[in-house]
Structure 1
């Protein structure tokens, strides 16, 4: 048995801000992917995944018992498959902010949901919001609290534009220009990040009025502008807003940036060779980079591995 593939995602803009109703933009990233598989002879990694799926089955059974109107999963089929060695075969690195649990949740929903909303339907705003809500509950097992966006992106394999928590839509983004000098890239921090502690730091910061004001007046303002610039293809304005956003994150989200990257982050702002921002909740994993000149950025970051996501 091998199920369909589900891809990783990248939240280009909106980390933390979407909790407080900023705009956001999430795109599928097809370089990493995962699928449900079954095997008689499991490797150590597959065994670990199977054990995790056993625990997840219990969570889903309880969730369905508590909220039958939200969810109808074929629990009998799921239990039978898990008991006979099903696992999630994935190349998506865990703790890297690109949706490893989201892809798994999308695969489970796709295979076992009895009344599923499919990609082939007319995806009205109501359907998208219902999917997001279901996925949020399904993914909470892994993070404590989930917006549902990662699985939604993985399930639909379409760019998702978040206008607010109650207003999301699938969108199109400008076609890649593979000969363009500009690029969005991933920088590997070499550290595994954990979402829950980072979100806790953010929530603690939110108790202070000064931080709330920074979030509203600077962070969300520049995030919203970046989303609008990216979707409309306004590159000049985008990089002006990216520089501001990178600065705000360095000044006010320092705990989410691994210490050894503080100098590198600042250097990008000072030289304009590249701008860095958080990829997901931060604390490790990937860091997102934007540059108008990939050759310059590669030279400036020659000691690091760059993975290009999008050219323009």
Structure 2
């Protein structure tokens, strides 16, 4: 048995902000993917994945049946037969490893599922997001449901606010463009739950809440608008501001060894860094008007281009 492929995703803008109703923009990233499989020669990885699926199947039995029901019998039978999630998506890297798994399970076992082929109204998108949020909470404690939504539909998603999301188109890439959005491998695995915990703790302070609204969300929303409108000049101006705010107010989410590198980008304008997902490790997102320059400045790191301007 081998199921269809589900891809990783990148939240270009909106990390943390979308918890508090900022805009966000999430795009599929086809470099990594995963699929449900059954194998006759299990590896250590597949056995671990299979055990996790066992627990996940038990969890799904108790999801609100008014929201979604699953063919639990078929799922448990397949898990007993050794089914696992075969994935190249790195875990704890902010590119949606659990999201792809959730999408695959929904696709294979949900009854009356909403399919990619039907007319995806806003209500259907929100319902899918709610279902995925319930499902993915098994992995993170609290999930927005956006990662699985992106994986399942494999199209860019614009988040206007918590209750207002839409499928969107993004400007097509310029193959010979000098500018780029890229990923830097921090070499450290990030844990989502503790990072979100720090954020929620900070939210208790009035000063932090004010900064989030007046600076972080303001620049995030502007970046989303600029990106969708293809206004590269304004995008880099706003990304720089966003990068500054993150360095000042989200330090615990930036791996220590990147603090100076982050600052250097802001001083030289060769590149600007921002969090990819909840931070704490995994990937860091980079934006550069001249990617060759950024490559030189970051020559000690492994960079992966996500999008060309």
| TM-score interval for Structure 1 and Structure 2 normalised by the shorter chain | over 0.9
- Determine the C-alpha separation between the residues in 2 that align with 1:89 and 1:41: 13
Give the corresponding residue for 1:7: 7
Q: Give the drift of 1:40.
A: 2.0
Question: Equivalents in 1 of 2:140, 2:82: separation in Å?
Answer: 24
State the shift of 1:181 in Å.
0.2
Q: Which residue, 270, 273, 276 being the options, matches 1:273?
A: 270
Deviation at 1:178, TM superposition (A): 1.0
Q: Deviations over 1:201-220 (max 9, x none)?
A: 00000000000000000000
Q: Which residue of 2 aligns with 1:205?
A: 202
2:100 aligned residue: 103
1:152 matched to 2:152? The reply is: no
Q: Are residue 305 (structure 1) and residue 302 (structure 2) matched? A: yes
1:52 aligns with 2:52: yes
**1:154-208 deviation digits (Å, cap 9, x = unpaired):** 0000000000001000000000101000000000000000000000000000000
Give the corresponding residue for 2:215. Answer: 218
Question: Which residues in structure 2 correspond to 1:1-312 (within 5 Å)?
Answer: 1-63=1-63, 67-312=64-309
Q: TM-score, normalised by structure 2?
A: 1.00
Give the distance between the partners of 2:88 and 2:231, measured in 1 at CA.
Answer: 33
Q: Distance in 1 between matches of 2:70 and 2:19?
A: 28
Give the superposed CA RMSD. 0.4
Instruction: State the 1:41 CA deviation.
Output: 1.7
Unaligned runs of 5+ in 2: none
Distance 1:222 1:242 in 2: 7
SS at match of 2:212: helix
| TM superposition score normalised by structure 1 | 0.99
> In structure 2, what is the Cα distance between the partners aligned to 1:76 and 1:62?
14
Counterparts of 1:178 and 1:92 in 2: how far apart (Å)? Answer: 25
Residues 218-247 of structure 1 show CA distances to partners (whole Å, capped at 9, x for unaligned) of 000000000000011000000000000000
SS at match of 2:61: helix
Q: How far did 1:71 drift?
A: 1.1
Moved over 6 A (4+): none
The CA deviation at 1:265 is 0.2
Q: What is the Cα deviation at residue 115 of structure 1?
A: 0.6
The aligned length equals 309
Aligned-partner Cα distance in 2 for 1:117–1:57:
20
Counterpart Cα distance in 1 of 2:264 and 2:283: 18
